[in-house]
Structure 1
Amino acid sequence: MDGIRQNKGPKFAYFLKVDDRSGEISTVALLDYEKRNQFHIIAIPIKGGGENREILVEVEDENDNSPVFPDDRIKLEISEFARVGSEYALPTAVDHDGPKFTVQKYRIAQGNVNNVFKITTRKLNDILTANLVVNGQLDREYRDKYELIIEAIDGGKPAKIGSLRVAIEILDANDNAPLFSQPRYTADVRANLSIGTTILTIKATDSDLGDNGKVRFRFQRISTPSTALFSLSSSGILSTAAHLEPGSVHDLVVTAYDAGQPSLEATAFVTVTVQGSSLSSSALDIIWLTETSTAHLLENVTLGGIAARIFMNDEHSNSELSLSGCPSLCLQQSDSRSVYLLLICGQFDRETHSEYHLKFMVKQHGEQIFEHPVLLTIGDVNDHAPSWGESRVHITLNRNVASPGKSLVATDLDAGMNGRIRYSILGTDAIGVDPDTGRIYPIRDLDCSYGNELRFKIRAEDGGKPGLSSDLEVIADLVDANTKPPVFEKGLYEVEVKEDTEKGTCLIKVRFIFV
């Protein structure tokens, strides 16, 4: 063969040349695998008589590109209630080299304190993707921010690396009860203090944020007669509400509570000692005929029952005793002029009035000579079921198992365990609920087999004995917010079809999955 004529493709001469006589192929410019990885050449004899030859020139790849993330830095917000195993999609790093030198793995290079996160990967259409996975219990009060450096590593030797900074903010949940500055407070005061005088300030802190960390104060709901003698502001200022008897000692129980849903509480004791000694005995001696032997009645107390027996001392035995402050209690004098019975003459409803400020007044000849204040507290019975406010609710729920979910909260007018609500799910095993907060979330990824809508019920049940409950019908629209779009299992499907195939014949079934 005296020489050859090459059939050159587009822009062929920019990269390669062929010697017409020797057939030697050589480069005339730098080759770049990422721009073009092969050249097709057809060699044709110049003088004829020979066969045409097809030549394929393949360009070998070199690791000359580093993995690159779409952004240098991203921010994630993760609740401290996030379950171990919750996944959060990370941006996919791109490496323009060939399959041999593309991204082979991801790792957390820095910032993973106590290994609370880890990386999981999967290949989709020959592209390696990564998710950030919660690997341990998060606690915002221990650490509220994480600064991770995620690295994508390619297959070169030595490998090239691309970096991504991930700023993670841990969102607060109401998981801390208020903490008093001290478990017991004491105060010594004079007997002649004016009403409204400040005695001391009670302090408590809550390490949660926002409403979860706002602390307020009140007296414990089941109070003693001493409670009527004092006033406690929501900010913790304790002051006098009546004249204090010399030589008396008053024990109070103070509750600190936050504004979370549900609210968390803590208690502390306060002892107030009044200086001096008692100069005279009280004009009245009240014996409470209740279960606690104190001024405390249950709201379902029997009508006509005797709440207390009241004795007047000999000095005031000829005086008249009257009562104000509660229309459901009546005084009845016994056969003895110095003994009175306190009768239940009306209904009580703790949800309307949880306490009454009673005043027993002793009068002689129409003039009041003595006044005795008593705080009557009304105890709760489980007479209210949890209330949803409506029988049905329409919500939007993310299909992704790592989504934060949505809180549905019922209310109960009862107190204590009678008003403590726990939640459960009815009608589906795909949705879970936090039994304490009412936060609902998908237990698994809700793929298209669940349709676009999911119906179920959430039950709220109180802690009474027996417990009362109510159900809320939930219609959840399933959406794909904050998730990657679905991808097909394969990038290419091939089907062979006979020319006489009948109309309506199923040719192929394709599947897609959610990342």
Structure 2
Amino acid sequence: MTLVIEDRNDCSPVFVPNRILLKISELSPVGTSFVIPTANDHDGSKFSVQKYKLETEDKNDWRNFNNASLPTNTIVTNVAPELKLTLMERLDREQKDGYHLRVVAVDGGELPLSGTLLIEVAVLDENDNRPKFNRPIYEANITENAAYQTVVVQVSATDADVGDNGRVFYGFPSNGMSTYGRMFDVNNITGEIRVISKLDRETKPVHHLTVTAADYGTNSLPVEVSVVVRLIDQNDNEPKVAFRNVAEASNAETTKLCTFLGHVMVDDLDEGVNGQFNCSLDSKYADGFARFGQSSALQSLDREEKDLYEFRAVVVQQTMTKLSSTCQVTVRVEDENDCGPIFSKNEFIFTMFEENLPGTEIGTVYAFDKDEYPNNQMHFELISDEFIVDDRDDIVFRIEKSSGKIWTESVLDRELKSDYYFKVLVRDLNNSTITNISTVLIKLIDINDNSPVFRFPNKTHHHILVYVP
């Protein structure tokens, strides 16, 4: 006797295990398949697992995974075939970091029985995001005398990745360290930028920094942001003053009143009210010159009286600190030919022995001119001809034009003329109209150059008659 036991669909498909965790990298390519457990049904092949279907809690998840299905060309047998879950779209952990799926196995009964596999998909983070600063540019204003470790500004960046891939640190680029790395420092954890050396607005009023942000992940991609630091001026500079850049001016003594001599140049590197100042001249001679930025002659100048004026230009800031500076101003008065030659005496008296040899020096007449060379050049002339030529029409005296020395040109005889009186003229060599006159008296000293001579009888009578009473 043969006993045939007919199968009934009394067993449901069962997954062992009925819950799994899949860890999938967010950079997994589309089309990647992952093997998942198959269901087991103890019924015969007629009532065994006939199909699988994929269910999700979120209908949008259908785009990422296809239905769990048996591989093609696979015959359902007691040996469970391989079941795969296939990735249909690219994952992005930053958009969605996990999925909850259900794979349902359905058997072949008229009233199908089913079993469910719960799949939790954890999307693994990859370092696929750069840090992002919360501002496109950072700007800050600080005083130029900011103390050491003063916080200038704090930058902040975030990274959508997690773990080391999302942990951000800050720094300066390598080329920035050589330019501003000695003046500023950035905290690599907090992003605070601090002052680490003395700043000077007058040297560099604006600093352009670049800060980088990178994560600790593999193949990190750093980003940069610009930081503009503007220095606020402080009154830390004394005004610098100069007169015509060389602190010296020349001026002719015939300069008219209020003639412009030059500028008092003042430079204060500070700005605004810190760079405002008052200018004045400090000297007993300063009253003769205008003030407030330019120097002008307010009094007549006379080089022969004073050829050099020295005084100080004083600049004082208008701020409370009243920083000041001075500059030595030297005004040299240039000579003009405004003085004529003047004899040292109104009359020159010379004595000499008679019977002199021609060319004998009698003496020198002196004259002086207060002007400077070449305006003080002069020459001398004799102007009384009747005393220069004797009865024989011989020239008696000669004067050296350049020195004023007087010479004899012939032998003088006291017995013929004992005194010579004449005039001498001195003339400005550069202006012939400027002259001066003095007199010269030459007295001859007698020498024993004559024998006694009887006055009577004279030459025509060689004897004398004497009558005796």
Give TM-score, length-normalised by structure 1.
Answer: 0.42
Bigger Cα Rg: 2
Give TM-score, length-normalised by structure 2.
Answer: 0.46
